[in-house]
Structure formats: C-alpha cells, structure tokens
Amino acid sequence: MPIDILMPALSPTMESGTLAKWLKKEGDKIKSGDVIAEIETDKATMEVEAVDEGVLAKILIGNGTENVAVNTKIAIIAAEGEDVGAAASGGGAAPAPVAAPVVAPAPAATVPAAPKTEMPAYDASSEVPAGTEMVKTTVREALRDAMAEEMRRDDKVFVMGEEVAEYQGAYKVTQGLLQEFGARRVIDTPITEHGFAGVGVGAAMTGLRPIVEFMTFNFAMQAIDHIINSAAKTLYMSGGQLGCPIVFRGPNGAAARVAAQHSQCYAAWYSQIPGLKVVMPYTAADAKGLLKSAIRDENPIIFLENEILYGQSFDVPKMDDWIVPIGKARVARVGHHVTLVAFGIGMTYAMKAADALAGEGIEAEVIDLRTIRPMDVATVVRSIQKTNRCVAIEEGWPQSGVTSEIGMKIMEEAFDYLDAPVIRVTGKDVPMPYAANLEKLALPTVADVVAAAKAVLYR
Amino acid sequence: MAANGAQMAGNATKRAPAPAKKAGKSESAKAVSGPKPFTKEEDLRAYRDMLLIRRFEEKAGQLYGMGLIGGFCHLYIGQEAVVVGMQMATIEGDQVITGYRDHGHMLACGMEANGVMAELTGRRGGYSRGKGGSMHMFSREKNFYGGHGIVGAQIALGTGLAFANRYNSNGNVSLAYCGDGAANQGQVYESFNMAELWSLPVVYVIENNRYAMGTSVSRASAQTDFSKRGVSFNIPGEQVDGMDVQAVREAAMRAITHARSGKGPYILEMQTYRYRGHSMSDPAKYRSKDEVEKMRNEHDPIEQVRNRLLGKHKISEEEIKAVDAEIRKIVNESAEFATHDPEPDASELWTDIVK
C-alpha cells in the first residue's frame, strides 16, 4: 500500500513551516533514515528523514512552498514491489498509525477534585495507654533508640552519613550503633552530600530502607536535587511502580552562634513538595515514635531535628513498640482562650508563653503539629472552633513559611470561627547574624508570642 | 532476551577475569587485537535488538512529527550497539539506569515496545501510565531503574543500586550510563569516589556521542579521554569502539567481570555517535553534514552486523528481510497501540503521590 509522507512538526509548538527543498526526486529509491527534504520554521532549518522504504512516487508540495500546515500530505512513497505510477496517481493510504484516528482525549475540562480523605481531629492523649511507665530520656537518646529498634527489627534498615559510625555521630545521635550493628549497616560516608544522598535514594529504589543523616540540613542543599527530583517524584513518574522508602534526618534550623549558613530552617522548603512527608518533632517521645514510623514508611521522609533540643529530656513511654503516627498533631496543653500552633523548637516559645499567659488569666491551647506535611489541619480547626483565635509560631522566615500556610488553611477551613485575624510569630526576614545580640533579635521570643496572643484577644 | 543474556554472561563468568587495567593507561580499543567474533546466533540477536531500537526510534520521530508525542524526545539512533552489546554481557538481575536518552535501554532490557511507545504518547498503557513520558520510565521486573531527566543524577542512583547489590550480596552488577555531557557533573565524581572506596559492583558506561546537546566534547571537556576520568580514584577504564557491537560486548565482559568479582567499579567510554539532533527540535547546526554522513556510511553499527550476516554467516537476503519485517511489525503495532490506547483517566492526577 502506498505511504503518505506528512509535513512533520519539529517542536511541540510548530503549526506550519516552509518546505525549503527536496533532496530526493520522484523515482528515487528511499531507505529508512534517508534525509529526503529540508523544512524551515521561524527557528531553524531541519531535515526530514524517511521512516519507510520504497520509491518516492510523487512529490505533492514543491520546493519553496511556504506555510505548509503540519500533517499536510507532502509526498507519496510506493512501498517495495508496488507500482510506482499507480501509487502516484492513486494517492497513498496513510502509514498505519497515521490513518488511525487519534483517540479523543478524555474530556478533562474539569479538574477532578483532590481526594478528600476525611481526617477527623486527632486525639493524641490516647497514644499512651494509662499506667504506662515513663522514662526521662533526651531527644538525642530517643532518636538513637528509635533507629536501633528499627534496625533490630528489619535488616533492610541501615544508617549512612558523615561521622555516623566511628565518630559516633557529629552530635552523638548514632552513638553505639556501629558497635551493635557493624560497618555493613552503619556507614561513614565521605563529605559528599549530593553523592551519598543519590546513593541512598538508589538503594531505596531497590527496597532497602536507608536512614541518611545530614550533619545538618544546611548541607542537604547540596543534595536537594536527589531529595526532590529523585526521591519525591519517582513514585508519580513511574505510575506507582517505584517507591523510595528513605529517611533523610539531621539537625535543622538555628543552633547557637553559627551564623547564616548554618542556621536555616527548611521546614517550609520541603513542605511544599508533593511526594515528601515532613516531620519535625519537639519532645523525645515524639522524636522516637515518629522516627520509627518514618523508617517504616514507604515514602521519602524529611525528619527535621534541632541541635538545641538534642540535650533536652522528656518523658518517653516505656513500651515494646512506641509508635507515633505521621500526620497527626498533638494538643500539648488544653485551653480555651487562644490557640497557639507550633512545631519543633517553636514549641519552646509556645509552651513558655502559655505559662506566662496563664499567670494573667489567659488559658492558651497549644498544638504541636509534629508533622508539617501532611498537615493535621483538622486538629487545628477543632481548637479554633473553641478559642476563635490563633497565633502560629516558627523560627523560620516569614515569607512563604509554614505559618503562612497555617494561616491560609485556617482562612479556607475555619474563617467563620475566627474572632480576630491569625497572627504569625516567626524568625526575622534576615540571614542569621553571628553577634550574640543580633542573633537574639533575629529569633522569636516568648514575649513576642505573649504579645501576639494578647493582640488576637484585643487585650 | 534475558534468558539469552543470562546464558552468555554465564559463559563470560567462566573466563578468567581480565587483569584490571591500570588507570591512566587507558587503551584504545583499536590497540587491542580485535574483539572475539560473534557466532551467527549472536550476530542475529545483535542485529535484531539493534534494528528494533532503530526502527522504534524512527517511528517515535514520526509520531513526534505528527504531534502525537509531546515535550522532549531524545532519540538513540546511531548509538544502538552500545546498549545491545552491554546487555549481551549481563546476567539476570543486573540493573540498568540511564539518563533521558533512554528508549534504547528500555527495549534492550526487554521492556515491551507497546508500553514504551504508549508512554511516549502519554497513554494509560504506558509503563508509567502516561505520567512519566519519554524520560521517566521504569520496570522493576526488567531491572530498569529509569529514565532520569536531571543530567548526571543517574550515576549517583546507579551507584546506590550497586550499594544495594553489595548490601544484599546478590552477585549482581549495576550498569550506570551517562553521556559525555553528564560526565562533567560533580556528583559523577562523588559517586566514583564512593564506588571505588567501597568496591561497589558498578560499571559506568560513558556514551561519548561527541556532543553534549550542541557543545562538542573538545569545547566542554578539559580531559576528552573519558576512560581516564576515574584515574584519581584508581578506577580502571578503557575506550571502546561503540559502533562495533562485538567490541562493546567484549569490553562489557571485562568490565562486568571485574565489578562482579568484587574489584569495584569500571569505566567504559563508548565512542559512539548520534545521527539525529539532541532532541527533536535540534537542527544540529553545530556539526557538518559530511561528518554525519561519514559515520552513517562507514560505521553504522547495524550495517556492520548485517554485512557479517550476509557475508561471513551466509544468511540469505530473504532471512534478513524476514527479521526486518518482524521488527517493522512490532514497531507498527506499538505505534498503533500507542495512538489508540486511551489517555489516563482524569482521576490519575491524584494517584501515586505517596504510598
């Protein structure tokens, strides 16, 4: 059957072009891959290659013809053994796929609504069974215990990062792991964040469960391409085939007097990415329970710790398998006048401010988000339904921050319950200064939170 | 394809492992006394596998010209001997990972033409159900780990696949491909360092097709001998005639045997050529027509094998034509499938974001 040659599109935006020149003439034999013509667009001159074999039976659009629309029939090829004359006069049947009517796209005029998983407000108070013994534990020890328990449970879990093994962790979070699990599973890497993040993601694609420690998240900026492009997007891009069960963890945000390059909070950055879960615990109990959940999760998890919190002690339930679910907030203090929403180290300001406010007869409800993405908005909304007022707190920068997102979610889902605008207390919109006095000025304070709470109460 | 590959690599592992070449003394393939000739069966397999890629890519170019494939579309035409020769030296379970010029690698790994073509047209029967496109396809079943659009990322990821092989002691080797352009990315060297430090079973295949998009190797690379790119990490490397599938397979056997035996990574610089532009919208004005014609006429990887089949192996024109027809049928059917298969359901917008 004769084959039509159509005017090709050479870019997604090309609609027509000039047929500059035929490089073959009628009667020429054509092999697949032969350049048969040149066409011009406003951007470039391109060659047209034959895909089929046979004899060029007829040229329908001559040299120099302008404005030839894409998919116009420009020539006819007689397939091998066919009568060239008949092909030329009869016109070609289109090559197999060409003639096939393109399936009309499914009517996608309306964007399907995001699946709404009914997420009721969460009650974290039932997480610990009554009568459970509590053990004072530092956040540092809690994180180590979580990793050790999960490594005992599953041989696929391993830890890699700078100084995690022989040095016992730059911040001693991996203390003792090398001794218990050996060098196969506790792996010191060179200082090569981009590279070892990629190695971790590649290993996770095969089904291993890496815990990749960044000495601090500041250095993870070198690796952020793998975190986002390789880890977070692959499940979607593979149509659900290839997951990436990996935990990226390490200290995040300001420590003390380490200046701009070592003091950044990445909660807002990572929380924007579909495909990631972002966890930022405050207490040791949450650090342990959430890290265990993160290690068992099938998705890439950003687990943001804080150097200042590492040494702080909290009650941790003594249980065989203490797990805290990802994506659930915790009411850290019950109150009814105003809701304070915070996470990670931001909780220190919220809790102290609540104490101070109580002294003035104001009962603040404090919500620890614990997970930034997916965000437990329902628990925040439930609280606002009671208090009608909200202050959101974070150490990170204000623009496009996590607290901006909290404010917008409240607008969308609890606007009618508000008796005052939501106020944010954030780090100042400046790189972190080194000087002690300036650093102090750049960070939120308890007084800022108290003042904000009074402002939304119009006191 | 896999079974065949397993059989061949089985033979390969019986060979005494070639002594690791000293890095820094990379030898040109031409200096070696010719690769071991293929048997008739091997040449037939190579011909068939390379022709499938060639015809598939030509058809993809045609569908692109018809507006049925969108966005970026990077064709592998001219480079077929590289991935086909490499696959002839692998065993079941060895992984493949590459960049965005990936259709040939998928077909060589045994992925179905229908699924690949339907992904190119963005249909639900595509390997990624239409959500990945030309640069993002995967098949865990065929040990193909993508298909990556960020230049050089696949080298670190491929090193991670090798890390997993060692962690699991499974005896498999990861083949991580990149181009001469990606070879200048920093993470490639971070990966080389870790791979050699930890003796990971990985073969880095640098497909040097002479142009990183429109920039020739000499304009972008201080060291244009890519086999030497591992010198400072003590990784052995060699340059290979990537247009000669026999030479590719022989080098692949050396490299894979080295990696599988626990000696660590190996670098193969495949000297190859892409006939088409970088992507569909590239007029390729940075090189002369003569250069392209010379490669096509004198070094075409498929013609070389076809000539051996007709000459040395005494296969008739009719038998060759039968193979050609079979390939054309597979490719035409894939195009037919890829143009009739429906687009993904709108609800797919919201699936596969997290597990």
pLDDT, one tens digit per residue, over B16-60 is 334 444 444 444 444 457 899 999 999 999 999 999 999 999 999
| Residues contacting residue A106 through CB under 8 Å, at least 6 positions apart | B342, B343, B344, B345, B346
Q: Is the Cβ pair B156, A274 closer than 8 Å?
A: no
Structure confidence by residue, pLDDT tens digits, B88-122: 999 999 999 999 999 999 999 999 999 999 999 99
- Residue of chain A whose Cα is closest to the Cα of B78: A33
Position A65 scores a pLDDT of: 92
Average pLDDT for B222-244:
97
In a domain, B11, yes or no: no
Nearest to B206 by CA among B223, B187, B232, B183: B183
Q: Is the Cβ pair A108, B139 closer than 8 Å?
A: no
Residue B187 clears pLDDT 60, i.e. is over it: yes
Q: Is the Cβ pair A234, B347 closer than 8 Å?
A: no
Both structure tokens of A183 = 């060098």
Of A149, A193, A305, A405, the active-site residue reads: A193
Give how many domains chain B has, as a whole number: 1
Residue B200: CB atoms within 10 Å: 26
Position A16 scores a pLDDT of: 87
CA pair distance A262, A264, nearest whole angstrom: 6
Give residue A280's pLDDT band: very low, low, confident or very high (50, 70, 90).
Answer: very high
Question: Which of chain B's residues have a Cβ under 8 Å away from the Cβ of A203?
Answer: 160-161, 163-164, 167
Q: Distance from first CA to last CA of chain A, Å, rounded?
A: 87
Instruction: Quote the mean pLDDT of chain B.
Output: 91
Partner residue opposite B150 with nearest CB, options A96, A97, A229: A229
Average pLDDT for A443-453:
98
Q: Distance from first CA to last CA of chain B, Å, rounded?
A: 32
With residue A67 as reference, give the H or E element that holds it: strand A65-69
Establish whether A193 is a catalytic residue.
Answer: yes
Average pLDDT for B148-154:
97
Structure confidence by residue, pLDDT tens digits, A309-346: 999 999 999 999 999 999 999 999 999 999 999 999 99
Q: What percent of chain B has pLDDT over 70?
A: 91
Of A141, A262, A305, A395, the active-site residue reads: A262
Average pLDDT for B5-26:
40
Both structure tokens of A55 = 């004899």
Q: Is the Cβ pair B62, A190 closer than 8 Å?
A: no
Instruction: Quote the mean pLDDT of chain A.
Output: 92
Can you give the pTM of this predicted structure? 0.90
Higher local confidence (pLDDT), B223 or A53: B223
In a domain, B297, yes or no: yes
- Residue of chain A whose Cα is closest to the Cα of B139: A241
CATH number at residue B120: 3.40.50.970
Average pLDDT for B287-299:
92
Average pLDDT for A360-380:
98
Question: Which of chain A's residues have a Cβ under 8 Å away from the Cβ of B122?
Answer: none
- For B203, the domain range is 45-333
Cα dist. A175→A166, A181, A298 in Å? 9, 11, 26
- Residue of chain B whose Cα is closest to the Cα of A109: B346
Structure confidence by residue, pLDDT tens digits, A247-259: 999 999 999 999 9
Question: Which of chain A's residues have a Cβ under 8 Å away from the Cβ of B153?
Answer: 198, 225-226, 229-230
In a domain, B312, yes or no: yes
Q: Is the Cβ pair B160, A205 closer than 8 Å?
A: yes
Partner residue opposite A299 with nearest CB, options B63, B187, B354: B354
Residue B196 clears pLDDT 90, i.e. is over it: yes
In a domain, B225, yes or no: yes
Higher local confidence (pLDDT), B311 or A104: B311
CA pair distance A22, A29, nearest whole angstrom: 14
In a domain, B234, yes or no: yes
Position A43 scores a pLDDT of: 72
Burial tier of B318 (Cβ tally within 10 Å: 0-12, 13-18, 19+): exposed
DSSP for B158-169 reads HHHHHHHHHHHT
Residue A100 clears pLDDT 50, i.e. is over it: no
Question: Which of chain B's residues have a Cβ under 8 Å away from the Cβ of A18?
Answer: none
CA pair distance B287, B218, nearest whole angstrom: 13
Establish whether A262 is a catalytic residue.
Answer: yes
Per-residue exposure over A365-379, b if at least 16 CB sit within 10 Å of its own CB, e if not: bbbbbbbbbebbbbb
Q: What percent of chain A has pLDDT over 90?
A: 78
Structure confidence by residue, pLDDT tens digits, A10-50: 777 788 889 989 999 999 998 877 888 888 877 777 778 88
Average pLDDT for A218-235:
98
Give residue A4's pLDDT band: very low, low, confident or very high (50, 70, 90).
Answer: confident
Beta bridge partners of A314: A137
Average pLDDT for B72-85:
96
**Min CA distance, B99 vs chain A (Å)?**
12
Average pLDDT for B304-324:
97
Q: Is the Cβ pair A236, B353 closer than 8 Å?
A: yes
Average pLDDT for A125-133:
93
Residue A78 clears pLDDT 70, i.e. is over it: yes
Q: Is the Cβ pair A197, B275 closer than 8 Å?
A: no
Residue of A237, A297, A298 to mutate when probing chain B, most B C-beta within 10 A? A237
Residue B13 clears pLDDT 60, i.e. is over it: no
Give residue B327's pLDDT band: very low, low, confident or very high (50, 70, 90).
Answer: very high
Partner residue opposite B157 with nearest CB, options A9, A10, A198: A198
In a domain, B124, yes or no: yes
Give residue A2's pLDDT band: very low, low, confident or very high (50, 70, 90).
Answer: confident
Position B285 scores a pLDDT of: 86
Question: Which of chain A's residues have a Cβ under 8 Å away from the Cβ of B344?
Answer: 106
In a domain, B346, yes or no: no
Rounded to whole angstroms, the maximal C-alpha distance in chain B is 59
Q: Are A227 and A219 in contact (CB under 8 A)?
A: no
Nearest to B129 by CA among A190, A280, A392, A237: A237
Position A90 scores a pLDDT of: 61
Helix residue ranges, H only, A41-188: 84-90, 96-99, 139-153, 177-181
Q: What backbone phi and psi angles, to 5 degrees, belong to B232?
A: -75, -5
In a domain, B27, yes or no: no
Average pLDDT for B279-297:
88
